[in-house]
Amino acid sequence: MKKFDTKKYPIYASFLNQLAKDLTKFYYAKLDKPFKITNKMKGKGYDPVTTSDKAFEKFIRSKISKKFPNHQIIGEEYGHKNTKSEFSWVIDPIDGTRSYVVGNPSWSNLISLNYNGEPVLGLANFPKMKKYYLNLNKNSAYVFENNKKRKLKINTKLSFTNAKLAAAFHHHLSLNQQLKIWLFVLLSMIILIILIGGLTRLTDSGLSITTWELFAGLLPPLTNDKWKDYFELYKTIPEFSEQNFNMTLSEFKVIFWWEWGHRQLGRLIGLSVLLPLIFFSINNGWWVLKSYGLIFLLVCFQGFIGWYMVSSGLVDRIDVSHYRLSLHLTTAFIILSIIFWKYLELTKIKSTEISIRLILSIKSSFFS
């Protein structure tokens, strides 16, 4: 049987070296986002495959076919491209799909080049960890990380006494699950603020606070003098002089608390959109900001419309403009609809998802 020409090691090693870099770029550009999951075993067990598995394999196949069009390719997701070539590429697009599903970064792209059935070169690429392992020839293998390469040494100990046991505890939620929880909380808060807004309107409490203080308004009046100051401001508007001229300070406090609570919930919603949005974008890519940033902009716009509505009732009339009130309520339902739609999109993404509590992967490590 014809043997592999060792002079060709640099050709294939260089290809795999570049492919590792391309795979990492491809992941962050195209795949670092929600994905669909299906179960290969269809109820007879659990063997997940994601849309990312298939996308990775298509990408790897295209690179190999372009560079080495006559080589055989054997992939986990798309089978065997059979040719008469002595060379065959064996692909596991995502080794550790269960880890990938729950957000554990220990998954990898595995690629092996075989010649007449014998392994020649191998690549283990870890995109999320931004490192990869590659042997450049028969006798040397390296780990590439932070633009540096380090040679791996072979452990000549044949006993499994010193073998390492790696356990992956998948106790944390996947990105899809985290986004769904976030959106569900926002849905609940939006529904709550619509209800409180309606009660504020029904109790004629909406004009009890006549100023808009984004930060100073966080705290309610804490002294009797402060309560009197707010009450005096309320006395300057038509609602008091024409409708509530007999109102006492104690009665004013009741309507004040409705409006104050309504505004605080609005502030809380703004923070509940902004802070998770920043967190998810930093940790998972700026595609999150592109996908969900409109929600934050609409919440900010809603805050402006809220004050625009209130200001219409501070001069020359005893209630707010019905047109501005309608705009305020319509915007709330638009925000609610968008959040609900985004939640449904994430629900459709997941066709099968099982909580994986513990995966044991035994790696007989011969590297020290």
66 domain-assigned: yes
Token pair belonging to 208: 């009890």
pLDDT at 352 over 60: no
SS (H, E, C) the chain: CCCCCHHHHHHHHHHHHHHHHHHHHHHHHHHCCCCCEEECCCCCCCCEEEHHHHHHHHHHHHHHHHHCCCCEEEECCCEEECCCCCEEEEEEEEECHHHHHHCCCCCEEEEEEEECCEEEEEEEEECCCCEEEEEEECCEEEEEECCEEEECCECCCCCHHHCEEEEECCCCCCHHHHHHHHHHHHHHHHHHHHHHHHHHHHCCCCCCCCCCCCCHHHCCCCCHHHHHHHHHHHCCCHHHHHCCCCCCHHHHHHHHHHHHHHHHHHHHHHHHHHHHHHHHHHHHCCHHHHHHHHHHHHHHHHHHHHHHHHHCCCCCCCCCCHHHHHHHHHHHHHHHHHHHHHHHHHHHHECCCCCCCCEEEEECCCEC
Domain shared by 106 and 203, yes or no: no
Domain shared by 196 and 160, yes or no: no
Domain shared by 246 and 123, yes or no: no
233 domain-assigned: yes
pLDDT at 107 over 90: yes
What is the band of 195 on the pLDDT scale with cuts at 50, 70, 90?
very high
368 domain-assigned: no
Domain shared by 29 and 158, yes or no: yes
Q: Specify the CATH number for the domain of residue 60.
A: 3.30.540.10
Residue 158, number of CB atoms within 10 A of its CB: 7
pLDDT at 354 over 50: no
68 domain-assigned: yes
310 domain-assigned: yes
148 domain-assigned: yes
Domain shared by 111 and 188, yes or no: no
pLDDT at 357 over 50: no
Domain shared by 183 and 153, yes or no: no
Domain shared by 221 and 238, yes or no: yes
Average pLDDT over residues 185-196: 96
Domain shared by 87 and 229, yes or no: no
pLDDT at 56 over 80: yes
Domain shared by 12 and 29, yes or no: yes
Domain shared by 182 and 320, yes or no: yes
1 domain-assigned: no
Domain shared by 101 and 240, yes or no: no
Supply the range of the domain harboring residue 93. 6-171+357-363
pTM score, whole prediction: 0.57
- Tokens 């997941």, residue located: 350
In degrees, to the nearest 5, what angle opens at C-alpha 251 toward C-alphas 239 and 211?
50
- Asked if residues 368 and 157 have their Cβ atoms less than 8 Å apart, the reply is no
Domain shared by 121 and 34, yes or no: yes
Average pLDDT over residues 353-360: 32
Token pair belonging to 198: 């309606």
For the chain, the domain total comes to 2
What is the band of 168 on the pLDDT scale with cuts at 50, 70, 90?
low
